[in-house]
Structure 1
Amino acid sequence: MRTLAYSLDVRFKPLFEVMGSLHAYICRKSHKKLDLSPSWAQQVQQRITPELSDLLDGIGIDGDWKLTYLLVHLCPGEDAADFVEWLKGMAAGDLYELMSPYSNLFPAHMGDFRDRTVRLFQQWNEQYMQHVDPEIIERLHVEAMKRKQALPASDPFAFVDETTNGLQFAPMNELKQIILMPQYHFQPINVVSYFGKVTLCHYAARIYLGDEDFLTPHEYRMIRSVAEKSRLKILKYLRQGPRSFIEIVRHMELSKGITHDHISKLRNAGLLTAHFEGETLTAYSLRTGALEQIHSKIMGYIEQGMA
């Protein structure tokens, strides 16, 4: 069995999904890429107060938001209420000391950052998270437990690839640990945050509520992703081995924007492996096993219909 230069762990607690749901709402302009209903953000906006809406509108996906992910990871509590009480008790100096082993970039005003984060999580928990279907949290707990139990007997590279639906993390000088955390709201996209000695990966758990179908939404996405000539050409090109984004752009002779859109659809379908160095995505390669899975699922569906 191959060995990694860093350790792997799988964790879950409800606080992680609070973060994931906030991230999904803040990124609501990207909802066409998510599995959530297109009306989800509108329904949430109708439920929350104007004060919380304004607070959310003022948050960007920036360095401060990345540090919020770090604080969620470092918090010893289990849920949003624990996080709020823990953060209230932290002085600005305490937060600098806590985060300094992981980052040298900090908010301009740590006290304001703490107070804003407390308000955000407290209000989001009361107005949204407490009304979420408890089955989501239950199934995320089960997902993490199953992965954690399977980890010791697994090839670590294959484990990361299968768990994250196509991510690989290169060894870095400081990197000591990668922590994988299942998330529901931001499916099918993974959120990767690099903090020197630890990389946090909130991965799409491929959990779906409602009526069961022969094919899951993820499997339908896999099939749809190959129903386009340019994407098939990208897959054929990557059969030669890993290639950078710029190499793919040059090969396809398309704009960067169009090429990125095609790659995103293939990535979200799990047909590509994305190779990371820290938070930098350096190359893409073909996941032949995913293509074989599409074939198997389609044949299974056809044969089931003939029975």
Structure 2
Amino acid sequence: MGYQLVIDFSPVYELINSLYKYIYHKQVKHLFLQDDWFRETKRKLAPQFAGQLADERFEVLHRLNLLVWQYKGDQTADAFLSWLQNQPAGDIYELLSPWVRSIPGNLGEIRDRMVYLLAKWNEQYFQHMDANILQALEKDADEKERLLTTLSPIDLIEEATNGIRLEETEEVKTVILTPQYHYYPAAILDFHEHICTCLYPSTSAMKTANGEVGGKMYSLVSITQALADSNRLKILRALNQQPANFAEIHKLLGLAKSTTNHHITALRRAGLIRAHHFGKSTAQKYSLRTSTIEKLGEQIMAFINE
């Protein structure tokens, strides 16, 4: 019943990911790249294009990852966009239909809009990114490919995402694992028919882009901040007894659901707990990652000694 794990890298994934991050920056919180990144990026954009993106809500943008995975041409943004522009709507339908249950009827219009947005974004932002970041992402994917010879797919995904376990189910046949930078430290999961795309946060790319601040220091700050709350300590103590689902943790804390979710997210992104997914984007249960807690003292001393 196990799924096939595919490690995949293309700069096009990050092209799409970075645009998605810009469009939805207000909805996504507690990432390394936040308001300062958005303001700096907006200044680089032509006013007309920035105005267009301010009203853009391109809900199907993430489905492009399924097309990137199937694209076999030159792995550059320009080459992919040229390929996409020349794909008839019927061919796009055939590429998506095995995995996407509901496909809009106006695929030609959607294709044209996607190509326009991504081409402008590439011209005004993405092609000016530090090339070392993309190189780090590619090296990270190569490293995960090597690890796949010694780790099970489930364990490799947990290591890459710092705590997400995609459990084996009959619904998921293939998982595409791809490194990403712009949503660090979050992982982006999208479940389709029998396939899941998982964009994991690349620590290597973060270190390359931000040096010490984006490396061990950020990891330590994330962990220590996650621990500096009594409600989160209650969660850890409860999960040390046995795994629990959201409803059980919510009952334990007696807080609003949004507040409970905030605490769980902080612990998960810090790598202190696991989120167990059974074919759905919402985790069905959580468990304690004792290894992260046991290594914390050593991690602090190693950073101080440096």
Aligned to 1:212: 212
Aligned to 2:235: 234
Which one-letter code corresponds to 1:212 in the other structure? E
Q: TM-score under structure 2 normalisation?
A: 0.91
Query: Does 2:70 align with 1:74?
Result: yes
Following TM superposition, by how much is the alpha carbon of 1:105 offset from its aligned partner in structure 2, in angstroms?
Answer: 0.8
In 2, distance between residues paired with 1:156 and 1:94?
31
Following TM superposition, by how much is the alpha carbon of 1:67 offset from its aligned partner in structure 2, in angstroms?
Answer: 2.1
Aligned to 1:280: 282
Aligned to 1:184: 181
Which one-letter code corresponds to 1:293 in the other structure? K
Structure 1 residues 202-256: Cα deviation after superposition (integer angstroms, max 9, x where no partner): 0001222244368331222111110111111111111122211111101111110
Change (3 A) 1:55 1:293: farther
In 2, distance between residues paired with 1:93 and 1:138?
35
In 2, distance between residues paired with 1:82 and 1:238?
48
Which one-letter code corresponds to 2:110 in the other structure? F
User: Does the CA contact (< 8 Å) of 1:178 and 1:199 recur in 2?
Assistant: yes
Mind listing any 5+ residue stretches in structure 1 that lack a counterpart? Answer: none
Query: Does 2:93 align with 1:93?
Result: no
In 1, distance between residues paired with 2:157 and 2:167?
12
- Greater shift, 270-279 or 154-163, is seen at 154-163
Q: How does 1:17-96 map to 2 (within 5 A)?
A: 17-30=14-27, 32-36=29-33, 38-60=35-57, 62=59, 64-77=60-73, 78-96=75-93
In 1, distance between residues paired with 2:146 and 2:236?
33
In 1, distance between residues paired with 2:303 and 2:169?
43
Following TM superposition, by how much is the alpha carbon of 1:34 offset from its aligned partner in structure 2, in angstroms?
Answer: 1.0
In 1, distance between residues paired with 2:183 and 2:150?
29
Q: How does 1:44-193 map to 2 (within 5 A)?
A: 44-60=41-57, 62=59, 64-77=60-73, 78-193=75-190
Following TM superposition, by how much is the alpha carbon of 1:293 offset from its aligned partner in structure 2, in angstroms?
Answer: 2.4
User: Does the CA contact (< 8 Å) of 1:19 and 1:72 recur in 2?
Assistant: no
User: Does the CA contact (< 8 Å) of 2:188 and 2:199 recur in 1?
Assistant: yes
Q: CA RMSD in A?
A: 2.0
Structure 1 residues 102-140: Cα deviation after superposition (integer angstroms, max 9, x where no partner): 112112421111110000111011000111011100111
Structure 1 residues 38-71: Cα deviation after superposition (integer angstroms, max 9, x where no partner): 3111111111123422442343363x23323322
Following TM superposition, by how much is the alpha carbon of 1:27 offset from its aligned partner in structure 2, in angstroms?
Answer: 2.3
In 2, distance between residues paired with 1:210 and 1:81?
27
Aligned to 1:195: 192
In 1, distance between residues paired with 2:6 and 2:155?
14
In 1, distance between residues paired with 2:285 and 2:125?
38
In 2, distance between residues paired with 1:144 and 1:69?
16
How many matched pairs? 300
In 1, distance between residues paired with 2:57 and 2:283?
21
Aligned to 2:297: 295
Q: TM-score under structure 1 normalisation?
A: 0.91
Change (3 A) 1:198 1:13: same
Following TM superposition, by how much is the alpha carbon of 1:161 offset from its aligned partner in structure 2, in angstroms?
Answer: 1.1
Structure 1 residues 157-204: Cα deviation after superposition (integer angstroms, max 9, x where no partner): 322211111111122324221121110111011101112222110000
User: Does the CA contact (< 8 Å) of 1:190 and 1:203 recur in 2?
Assistant: yes
Following TM superposition, by how much is the alpha carbon of 1:20 offset from its aligned partner in structure 2, in angstroms?
Answer: 1.8
- Greater shift, 186-195 or 170-179, is seen at 170-179
Partner SS, residue 32 of structure 2: coil
Mind listing any 5+ residue stretches in structure 2 that lack a counterpart? Answer: none
Change (3 A) 1:169 1:47: same
Partner SS, residue 100 of structure 2: coil
Partner SS, residue 258 of structure 2: helix
Change (3 A) 1:137 1:251: same
Partner SS, residue 239 of structure 1: helix
User: Does the CA contact (< 8 Å) of 2:101 and 2:192 recur in 1?
Assistant: no
Change (3 A) 1:189 1:210: closer
Following TM superposition, by how much is the alpha carbon of 1:32 offset from its aligned partner in structure 2, in angstroms?
Answer: 4.4
Which one-letter code corresponds to 2:288 in the other structure? L
